[in-house]
C-alpha cells in the first residue's frame, strides 16, 4: 500500500488530502486516477480534483490547492500493530469548515480497514460528505448498496469486497461511476500523458448535521468474514477488536471517541 499522498509538500498543494492507494502483490486494488497532463482543460481539472482520489469530498468542493493552505505532512503515526500496519493522518480544512482524521489499518493478504473521523464545524446546516473510491479500469461491481459492494476483476476474476458502516443514523446513497461525463466527470483513469479511459469508481454520499461522526470502509480480498473485522461501528459506537490497536488509537484519536 502506498501512502505517498499523505504528504503534501510545503510549496506544492494537491486536492488529494489523505487519499490512499492500495497495492497487493504488485497489483493495484485502489487506484490513483493519474496525472493526465498540464494543459488547461476540463480533463485536467478532473484529474486534479478531490473526487478523482480515494478521499472525502465536502459539499461538492475540492480541498484547497492554494499555497497558503499547504501544511507539510499530515502524518501522525506510522508503524506496525498486531500483525498489521497502522497509519494515521489528520488535516484541518479551514475553507471547508471541517477536520478530517483518517486511520488506515492494513493487513497483507487480508485487506485494508479505513476509519474516517469528521469534525464538522458547520453543524447548523445539513452538509454533504462523499467518500470516493477508485477500483480501476478492469473491475466491475457485482453488487452495490448503502452498506457496501462486491467487485470482480475481468482479467482473472479476483474478488474484492467493501463494507461500509457509520455512526450516523442516515444511510448513505451509493453510486457507481464508470466513464461518467454528466453532470460532471467521474470514473476515469489516465494511463498516460493526455490519455483518459473509463474506470470503475464508487461513491458513498452521506448527509450530516452532526458536529462529529465516523465512517468505516472495510476493504477485503475475496469474500469477507465479518468475524475478521478489527474496526467496527455498532450502535453508533466505534468498536476495536484488537487490544493493541485499541491502545494505539486511544492515544491518537480525540478523547472519548473510543
**Domains, the chain:** 4-252 (2.70.98.70)
In the predicted model, what is the mean pLDDT of the chain? 92
- Residues 99-119, mean pLDDT to the nearest whole number: 97
Inform me whether the pLDDT recorded for 3 exceeds 70.
no
Give the per-residue pLDDT at 124: 95
For residue 28, give the C-alpha cell: 493495484
CA distance 5 to 54: 10
Inform me whether the pLDDT recorded for 243 exceeds 90.
yes
CB hemisphere CA count around 96 (13 angstroms): 26
Which pLDDT tens digit goes with each residue over 32-73?
999 999 999 999 999 999 999 999 999 999 998 887 777 778
Burial 80-116 (b: 16+ CB within 10 A, else e): ebbebbbbbbbbebeebbbbbbbbbbbbeebbbbbbb
CA distance 195 to 75: 32
Which pLDDT tens digit goes with each residue over 157-199?
889 999 999 999 999 999 999 999 999 999 999 999 999 999 9
Whether the pTM exceeds 0.75: the reply is yes
Amino acid at each position: 500500500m502506498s501512502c505517498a499522498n499523505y504528504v503534501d509538500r510545503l510549496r506544492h498543494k494537491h486536492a488529494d488530502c489523505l487519499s490512499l492507494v492500495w497495492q497487493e502483490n504488485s497489483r493495484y486494488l485502489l487506484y490513483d486516477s493519474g496525472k493526465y497532463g498540464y494543459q488547461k482543460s476540463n480533463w485536467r481539472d478532473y484529474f486534479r480534483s478531490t473526487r478523482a482520489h480515494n478521499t472525502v469530498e465536502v459539499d461538492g468542493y475540492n480541498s484547497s490547492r492554494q499555497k497558503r493552505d499547504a501544511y507539510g505532512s499530515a502524518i501522525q503515526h506510522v508503524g506496525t500493530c498486531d500483525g498489521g500496519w497502522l497509519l494515521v493522518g489528520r488535516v484541518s480544512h479551514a475553507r471547508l469548515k471541517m477536520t478530517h482524521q483518517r486511520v488506515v489499518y492494513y493487513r497483507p493478504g487480508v485487506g485494508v480497514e479505513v476509519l474516517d473521523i469528521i469534525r464538522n464545524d458547520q453543524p447548523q446546516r445539513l452538509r454533504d460528505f462523499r467518500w470516493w473510491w477508485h477500483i480501476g479500469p478492469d473491475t466491475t461491481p457485482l453488487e452495490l448498496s448503502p452498506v457496501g459492494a462486491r467487485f470482480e476483476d475481468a482479467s482473472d476474476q479476483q474478488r474484492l469486497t467493501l463494507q461500509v458502516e457509520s455512526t450516523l443514523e442516515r444511510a448513505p446513497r451509493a453510486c457507481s461511476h464508470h466513464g461518467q461525463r454528466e453532470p460532471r466527470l467521474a470514473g476515469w483513469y489516465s494511463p498516460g500523458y493526455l490519455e483518459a479511459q473509463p474506470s470503475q469508481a464508487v461513491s458513498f454520499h452521506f448527509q450530516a448535521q452532526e458536529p462529529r461522526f465516523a465512517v468505516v470502509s472495510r476493504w477485503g480480498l475475496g469474500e469477507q468474514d465479518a468475524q475478521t473485522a478489527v474496526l467496527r461501528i455498532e450502535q453508533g459506537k466505534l468498536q476495536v477488536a484488537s487490544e493493541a490497536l485499541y491502545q494505539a488509537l486511544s492515544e491518537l484519536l480525540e478523547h472519548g471517541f473510543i
